[in-house]
C-alpha cells in the first residue's frame, strides 16, 4: 500500500464491497473491457487523429512496458502536465496498468505549483508537451529538475530537446503484475485551503465506482460522444463521468484544445457531440456566442455544469438557447458528487445542485460546533462514503483538521438540504476564492505577495462578479511607496504562479479590519470594498 495513504476502516471497506460499490476492478481493466467489447469503435478523437479502442488499448500496454523499461516502478509518482491530447489518455492508462501513480497538474499551473507538486509527491518523472499555447514546458522542466531532485525523467510529447520523447517510450508489452483494486490509482490536486497544495489519493476501486456511477447518472452509453472542453486533468471532465466514464460506457471522447465557443462549436458540429461539461462562466460565453453562431449544435443532448454556483437565470437559458438538457453537478476532487437527474422536476434542475451519487454517501449538515442543524437548515457539509477520501496524501497534521474523529470530511461548503435529498450550495467556510470554478488558494497567494518589497501586509478577498461569480482583490498595506497591480502581478508571474491566481484588483489601505480575535476580518473587508452591497 502506498505510504502516506489513509485507507477506509475495514468495516467500511467490507460494506462498500458487499454492497457492490467496489467491484475489484482496476482502471486499466476498464479500458481493456471496453476494448474487448468494441475493438474497432472510435475511442478518442484529437484533431485529425482518431484512435480505435484497440489502438488506445495497445498504445497503453506498449507505453506501460516502455515506462517499466525506463525503471519506473509501481507506486512511484509521475507528474502529468498534459493538455487535452490523446497522449493524456494513453499515458494515464499506461500508468494505471503499471501501478505507477499519475499526479495530475492543471495546464495553467506554472513553476511554483509544479515544483511544489513534484516535491510533495516525490515524483520520479515529469511529463509535459513541448510547447502549449505559447508556453515552453521544456524550460519549466529544467527548473523542475533543478529544484525537485526526485525527478529522474522528463518525458516530452513532441520535440524533446535534451529530454526523452514520450513517443520513444515504447516496448513490447510484457504481462505486468499490475496493481490491486484497493491500491491508490491517482493523485488529484485539492481546491486548496492551506498555504501549500494538498493531494487526494483515489483508489482503483473508488474511482472505478465514481466514473461508472456518474456515467449512469448522466445517461452515457456506447452512442455517447463526449466533448472534453475543460482540461481533463480536472476531476470533473476526467471522471464525473468525463473522459474515463465515456470510455467505460464504450462511447467516443473528443478532445477540444480549449473550451472557447470557437473550438467547441466546431467540434460539436463536426463530431456530432452529445454530452459535455462546463463551469458557469463558460456557460455564459457559450450562450452569448450560440445566439449568433451558424454552428449546428442540435446533436447536443446534455450539458453538465459545475465547479461554481450557477445562477438560476443562466440555468433557465440553457435549454432554449443550446437545445439540450442541463445537469447541475456539485463535486469535489476529494470525492462526493451530487447531480440533478433526468427525471427531476424542472425547478429542482434549475435551482439545486442535485442529490448524491451513492445511497451510502453519508451527509451531515453542521453548525460551527459540529452539531447537526435542524433538517433544512444551513450549515457546513460533512461527508463520508465509498468514494470520498479518508485523508490527504502525506498530510497528517492537515488531516486532523480536515476530518472528524468518525471519519467525515469537512467540505468547507455551506449547504442546505431539501426534503428529497437535493442540496443547495449557499456559500463556504473555507478560505478559497472560487473564480468561476478555478480555485484560488488564498493563503498561498498571500504568502507570495508578502515577498514583494512594497507589501507590508496583505489580505486576498473575493468580491462578487457578474461573469466569474467572484474575482480576487489584494488588499495591501504598503511599505513605502504603494505598489501598482501591474508590479504585483509581474512579481507573482516571475515567481511562476498560475495566471488564474493573480489578483484581479488591488486596494491599498491604511489598515485591515480585524475580528475580536485579531484575525483579518475578510467579510468586513469585502463589504468595505463593495460598499456593503454583498
Ligand atoms: C457551487 N460550488 C461548487 C457547484 C463545485 C464536478 C464538479 C465540480 C468539481 C470541482 C468536481 C459546485 N456549485 N455546482 O470535482 O467532479 C465548489 C465547492 C467544492 C469545490 C471543489 C466535479 N461544484 N463547487 O469543482 O475539487 O466549493 O472540484 O467544494 O475543483 O468547488 O472544487 P474541485
SS (H, E, C) 110-132: CHHHHHHHHHHHCCCEEEEECEE
> Who lines ligand 1 at CB under 6 A?
191, 235-236, 240, 306-309, 328-333, 337, 353, 411, 413, 425, 428, 434, 437, 439
| Residue 139: all three cell numbers together | 524550460
pTM of the complete model: 0.97
Q: Ligand 1 centroid vs 445 CA: distance in angstroms? A: 20
The grid cell for 361 is 454517501
Probe target for ligand 1 pocket from 232, 233, 331, with the most ligand atoms within 8 Å of CB: 331
Cell numbers representing residue 412 in the block: 468547507
Q: Which three cell numbers stand for residue 360?
A: 451510502
Where helices occur in 330-427 by DSSP H, the ranges are 346-351, 396-402
Euclidean distance between the first and final Cα of the chain, in Å? 48
130 alpha carbon – ligand 1 mean position (Å): 30
The helix/strand/coil state of 529 is helix
pLDDT in tens, 404-413: 999 999 999 9
18-32, 176-190, 217-231, 511-525: segment of lowest average pLDDT? 511-525
pLDDT digits (tens, 9 = 90+) for 416-452: 999 999 999 999 999 999 999 999 999 999 999 999 9
Please give the share of the chain, as a percent, with pLDDT higher than 70.
Answer: 99
d(CA 108, CA 125): 19
The answer to whether 326 touches 306, Cβ cutoff 8 Å, is no
CB neighbour list of residue 45: distance below 8 Å, 6 or more residues apart: 252, 253, 254, 255, 271
**Domain ranges in the chain with CATH number 3.30.300.30:** 432-529
Q: What's residue 534's pLDDT?
A: 41
DSSP 420: T
What pLDDT is attached to residue 517?
Answer: 86
Q: What homologous superfamily is domain 432-529 in, according to CATH?
A: ANL, C-terminal domain (3.30.300.30)
Residues above pLDDT 90, as percent of the chain = 96
Residue 532 pLDDT class (50, 70, 90 cuts)? low
**Helix 27-37, helix 53-70: angle, nearest 10:** 140
Q: Is the pLDDT of residue 533 over 90?
A: no
All residues at 6 or more sequence positions from 217 whose CB lies less than 8 Å from its CB, including other chains: 241, 327, 339, 341, 357
CATH 3.40.50.980 segments of the chain: 27-179
Backbone angles phi, psi at 204, to 5 degrees: -55, -50
For residue 76, what are the contacts with CB-CB under 8 A and spacing of at least 6?
100, 101, 124, 125
Instruction: Enumerate the CATH 3.40.50.12780 domain ranges in the chain, comma separated.
Output: 209-430
Tell me the CA–centroid distance for residue 183 and ligand 1, in Å. 25
Give 199-232 pLDDT, tens digit per residue. 999 999 999 999 999 999 999 999 999 999 999 9
Mean pLDDT along residues 480-501: 97
Q: Which CATH class is domain 209-430?
A: alpha beta
Ligand 1, atom 30, residue with closest C-alpha: 191
Helix runs in 346-495, H state only:
346-351, 396-402, 442-449, 485-494
pLDDT tens-digit map of 155-209: 999 999 999 999 999 999 988 899 999 999 999 999 866 667 899 999 999 999 9
Residue 193, pLDDT score: 65
Distance CA 426, CA 352 (A): 10
Mutate which of 200, 307, 315 for ligand 1 pocket (most atoms within 8 A of beta carbon): 307
Name the residue among 211, 282, 290 with its Cα closest to residue 253.
211
From 187, 192, 306, give the residue whose CB has the most ligand 1 atoms within 8 Å, as the site to mutate: 306
Q: Which of 200, 330, 392 is the best mutation target for the ligand 1 pocket, counting ligand atoms within 8 Å of the beta carbon and taking the most?
A: 330
Residue nearest (by alpha carbon) to ligand 1 atom 33: 332
Q: What is the pLDDT of residue 176?
A: 87
**Domain 27-179 = CATH 3.30.1130.10:** no
Atom of ligand 1 nearest to the CA of 306: 14
- For ligand 1, atom 25, the nearest C-alpha belongs to 307
Amino acid at each position: 500500500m502506498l505510504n502516506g495513504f489513509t485507507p477506509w476502516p475495514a468495516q467500511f471497506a467490507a460494506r462498500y464491497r458487499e454492497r457492490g460499490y467496489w467491484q475489484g476492478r482496476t482502471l486499466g481493466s476498464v479500458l481493456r473491457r471496453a476494448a474487448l467489447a468494441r475493438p474497432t469503435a472510435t475511442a478518442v478523437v484529437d484533431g485529425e487523429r482518431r484512435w480505435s479502442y484497440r489502438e488506445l488499448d495497445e498504445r497503453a500496454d506498449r507505453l506501460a512496458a516502455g515506462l517499466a523499461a525506463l525503471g519506473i516502478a509501481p507506486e512511484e509518482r509521475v507528474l502529468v502536465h498534459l493538455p487535452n491530447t490523446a497522449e493524456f489518455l494513453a499515458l494515464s492508462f499506461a500508468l494505471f496498468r503499471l501501478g505507477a501513480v499519475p499526479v495530475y497538474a492543471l495546464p495553467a499551473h506554472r513553476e511554483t505549483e509544479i515544483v511544489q507538486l513534484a516535491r510533495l509527491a516525490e515524483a520520479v518523472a515529469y511529463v509535459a508537451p513541448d510547447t502549449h499555447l505559447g508556453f515552453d514546458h521544456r524550460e519549466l522542466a529544467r527548473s523542475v529538475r533543478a529544484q525537485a531532485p526526485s525527478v529522474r525523467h522528463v518525458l516530452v510529447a513532441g520535440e524533446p530537446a535534451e529530454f526523452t520523447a514520450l513517443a520513444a517510450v515504447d516496448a513490447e508489452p510484457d504481462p505486468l503484475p499490475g496493481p490491486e483494486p484497493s491500491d491508490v490509482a491517482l493523485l488529484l490536486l485539492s481546491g486548496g485551503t492551506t498555504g501549500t497544495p494538498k493531494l487526494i489519493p483515489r483508489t482503483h476501486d473508488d474511482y472505478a465506482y465514481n466514473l461508472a456511477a456518474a456515467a449512469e447518472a448522466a445517461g452515457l452509453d456506447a452512442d455517447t460522444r463526449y466533448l472534453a472542453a475543460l482540461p481533463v486533468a480536472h476531476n470533473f471532465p476526467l471522471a464525473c463521468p468525463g473522459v474515463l466514464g465515456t470510455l467505460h460506457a464504450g462511447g467516443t471522447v473528443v478532445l477540444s484544445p480549449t473550451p472557447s465557443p470557437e473550438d467547441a462549436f466546431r467540434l460539436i458540429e463536426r463530431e456530432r457531440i452529445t454530452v459535455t461539461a462546463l463551469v458557469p462562466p463558460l456557460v455564459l460565453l457559450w450562450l452569448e456566442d450560440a445566439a449568433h453562431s451558424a454552428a449546428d449544435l442540435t446533436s447536443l443532448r446534455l450539458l453538465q455544469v459545475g465547479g461554481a454556483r450557477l445562477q438560476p437565470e443562466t440555468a433557465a437559458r440553457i435549454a432554449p438557447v443550446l437545445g439540450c438538457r442541463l445537469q447541475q453537478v456539485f463535486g469535489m476532487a476529494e470525492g462526493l458528487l451530487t447531480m440533478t437527474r433526468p427525471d427531476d422536476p424542472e425547478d429542482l434542475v434549475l435551482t439545486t445542485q442535485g442529490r448524491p451519487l451513492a445511497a451510502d454517501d453519508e451527509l451531515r449538515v453542521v453548525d460551527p460546533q459540529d452539531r447537526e442543524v435542524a433538517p433544512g437548515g444551513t450549515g457546513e457539509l460533512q461527508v463520508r462514503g465509498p468514494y470520498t477520501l479518508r485523508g490527504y496524501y502525506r498530510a497528517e497534521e492537515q488531516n486532523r483538521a480536515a476530518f472528524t474523529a468518525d471519519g467525515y470530511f469537512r467540505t468547507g461548503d455551506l449547504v442546505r438540504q431539501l426534503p428529497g435529498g437535493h442540496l443547495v450550495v449557499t456559500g463556504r467556510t473555507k478560505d478559497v476564492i472560487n473564480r468561476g470554478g478555478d480555485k484560488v488558494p488564498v493563503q498561498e497567494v498571500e504568502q507570495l505577495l508578502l515577498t514583494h518589497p512594497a507589501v507590508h501586509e496583505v489580505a486576498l478577498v473575493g468580491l462578487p462578479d457578474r461573469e466569474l461569480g467572484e474575482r480576487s482583490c489584494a488588499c495591501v498595506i504598503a511599505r513605502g511607496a504603494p505598489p501598482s497591480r501591474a508590479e504585483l502581478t509581474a512579481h507573482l508571474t516571475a515567481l511562476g504562479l498560475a495566471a488564474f491566481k493573480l489578483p484581479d484588483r488591488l486596494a491599498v489601505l491604511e489598515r485591515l479590519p480585524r475580528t475580536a480575535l485579531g484575525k483579518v476580518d475578510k467579510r468586513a473587508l469585502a463589504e468595505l470594498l463593495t460598499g456593503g452591497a454583498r
